Amino acid sequence: MEQKNNSLLVYTIFYFLFLYIPVLFLPLFSFNDSNYMSFPLSGFTFRHYEDMWSKTPVFRALWVSVKVGVIASVVSTVIALMAAKAFTKYKFIGSRVSYAAVLLPFLIPEIILAVSLIVIWLSLGFKLGLVPVTIGHILFCTPFCMLILVSRIEGFDSSLEEASRDLGENAWGTFWKVSFPLYLPGIIASLLLGFIISFDEFILAFFLSGSDPTLPMYMWNQLRFIKKLPHVLALGAIIIVATTFVVLLAYWLMNLGQAKEKDFKI
């Protein structure tokens, strides 16, 4: 291990400032008593928040995003859990190819996923709407959920499952009584992060949703009008705080899982 390197430390601190400060301008200006996002700041106000609170389209879009997010995160977590189990537990022919196939949506420009879904959806004669958006989100969330779950499942001793089988429990019982409780922190983390990804996703929703806007689409539509910007700032600030909270919760859960595992080994 190296001893000390002050210039590198200073650089690292500046880099972290570069990462964090831009995002913090949104909450800052959301309390600024002006319609323009510029210095000098003109005073503290809650009026942008009140303005946001009084707009019904915000809540309609929020409800759409929550619906899509919950369905997408639950379905992708189930698909990802089964896949993660297959990849961690078995050695099988074609495992590398299948692994690449599941991760592929993560490695293709999102706009291409969106466009391909439009082509097939319209060819089948369906109308664009929230169904293709949800399907697209499931496709997009599954790789993330699988990576979270693979690291969770790899982290614990498979001899516990074997012991349960040896003691006469069947496969189903072993899953519910032994594996599931052990995976649970990872599963919840996967649900939370899957929800966040879907909740924030813009491109697929923008291309596929037709007339029902999700929350990111609502914000995008408002950004064109300077006068409507401040209430988007307030909304954005709330989203940033809420997202950060959920993500920290998910991280905490993943670590909680690790602590539990150590207890088991004792």
Partner 1 sequence: MWRYINKLYARSDNVKAYTLLTPALIFFFCVMLTPMLLTIAFSFFTQINMNEIDYSFTTDRYVEFFNKPLLTSLLFKSVKISFIVTFVTLLTAYPVAYYIAFYVKKNKTLWLILMSLPFWTSYLLRIFSWKIILGTKGVINSGLITLGLISEPLTFIMYSQTAVVITLSHAWAAFALLPLYVSLDKIDYSLIEASRDLGNSRLETFWRVTFPLSLPGVIGAILIIFIPTVGDYVTPQMVGGVDGRMLSYMIQSYFGKVNNIPMGAVSAVIMLAAVASITMIVSYATKKLTQRVA
- What is the total count of residues that contact partner 1 (CB under 8 A)? 85
**Binds partner 1 (CB under 8 A): choice among 187, 189, 196, 204:** 196
Q: How far is 252 from 232, CA to CA, in rounded Å?
A: 30
- Amino acid, single-letter form, for residue 199: F
Does position 74 interact with partner 1 (CB under 8 A)? The reply is no
Which range touches partner 1 (CB under 8 A), out of 46-54, 56-64, 79-87, 172-180? 79-87
CA distances from 124 to 3, 120, 121, 134, 212 (A): 63, 6, 5, 17, 20
One residue of 42, 63, 95, 176 binding partner 1 per CB under 8 A: 95
The per-residue b/e assignment along 60-73, b for 16 or more CB within 10 angstroms, e otherwise, is ebbebbeebbbbbb
Residues 6+ apart with CB under 8 A from 57: 213, 218
We find the least distance from the C-beta atom of residue 230 to partner 1, in angstroms, to be 11
172 binds partner 1 (CB under 8 A): no
Helix axes 56-89, 95-103, angle to 10 degrees: 170
Q: Which one of 62, 247, 249, 256 is in contact with partner 1 (CB under 8 A)?
A: 247
Q: Judged by CB under 8 A, does residue 102 bind partner 1?
A: yes
Q: Which residues lie across from 44 on neighbouring strands?
A: 32
Note whether 148 binds partner 1 by CB under 8 A. no
Q: Any residues with CB less than 8 A from the CB of 222 and at least 6 apart, and which?
A: 228, 229, 231, 232
Q: Helices in the chain by DSSP H: which ranges?
A: 6-30, 47-53, 56-89, 95-103, 110-123, 130-154, 159-166, 171-174, 180-200, 203-208, 215-222, 229-265
Question: Considering the rule CB under 8 A, would residue 259 count as an interface residue with partner 1?
Answer: no
Min CB(21)–partner 1 separation in Å: 9
Of 183, 239, 253, 257, the one binding partner 1 (CB under 8 A) is: 239
Residues belonging to the chain: 266
51 or 200: CB nearest partner 1:
200
Selected range binding partner 1 among 44-52, 148-156, 174-182, 240-248, rule: CB under 8 A: 240-248
Q: Who's near 250: CB < 8 A, 6+ residues apart?
A: 188, 189, 192, 193, 196
Strand partners for 32: 44
Q: Which of the ranges 50-58, 152-160, 179-187, 234-242 carries the binding residues for partner 1, by CB under 8 A?
A: 234-242
Among 43, 54, 56, 123, binds partner 1 (CB under 8 A): 123
Q: Is 16 in the site for partner 1 (CB under 8 A)?
A: yes
- Please tell me whether residue 78 binds partner 1 under the rule CB under 8 A: yes
Considering only residues 30 through 69, tell me which ones interact with partner 1, judged by CB under 8 A.
36-40
Name the minimum Å distance from CB 202 to partner 1: 5
Q: Least separation, in Å, of the C-beta of 47 and partner 1?
A: 18
